A and B are shown apart, each in its own frame.
Chain A
Amino acid sequence: EPEVTQTPSHQVTQMGQEVILRCVPISNHLYFYWYRQILGQKVEFLVSFYNNEISEKSEIFDDQFSVERPDGSNFTLKIRSTKLEDSAMYFCASSNSGQETQYFGPGTRLLVL
């Protein structure tokens, strides 16, 4: 069964450093998403991406964040200068269309020290 994969599973970084989180969406899906979940809190939407453009973003997704589809299979989230409050689990998701079910990856646990 096709699934969303994410790397790395865990990442520890120093405050102010740049991190890139990677995702391989389900192969025939066209819409890609990033969500995050701070420990003990709800899953929060960050951004959606379609046709090489951001189609929707939340207030959390400020200038420190960027997304890219560098090739035909990968989808990345970059945080330019990490802050302590960026520590969270980051989930990638994909869907076949903007109205269909979003399937989530296993997540990357980011710890900013």
Chain B
Amino acid sequence: EDQVTQSPEALRLQEGESSSLNCSYTVSGLRGLFWYRQDPGKGPEFLFTLYSAGEEKEKERLKATLTKKESFLHITAPKPEDSATYLCAVRGGFQKLVFGTGTRLLVSP
């Protein structure tokens, strides 16, 4: 059964303090690893898709990387507006996404 574990559960950073979020996964034949951002009471907002080990994607202060067992979301010099829950999901067979429980990020000014 496909599984996703995210750590830490919660992370508090000062503005400008870089850090990384971890997503460990178990899937029989990875057909995509996805990062989403979710604000309270809102739907997941797409950030990145990664398909193969070694792949990297960047967008503004965020950079996602992928290995055969885990993915990292690196946040460089975060700002308060980066505060949100970051969700990792994998797709094995068919179309179903399996989500982790997310990392709640709080960036203080």
A residues with CB within 8 A of B: 4, 31, 33, 35, 41-45, 48, 55-56, 58, 89, 91, 95, 98-107, 109
Contacts and interface: CB of A to CB of B under 8 A. Distances in A.
B101 A56 contact: no
A101 B49 contact: yes
Interface of B: 31-32, 34, 36, 41-46, 49, 87, 89, 91, 94-102
A104 B101 contact: no
A104 B43 CA distance: 6
Contact of A104 (B41, B45, B49, B95): B45
A109 B96 CA distance: 22
Contacts of A58: 96
25 contacts: A4-B43, A41-B101, A43-B87, A43-B89, A43-B99, A44-B99, A45-B96, A45-B98, A48-B94, A48-B96, A55-B95, A56-B94, A58-B96, A89-B41, A98-B94, A99-B31, A99-B91, A99-B95, A101-B32, A101-B49, A103-B46, A104-B43, A104-B44, A106-B43, A109-B41
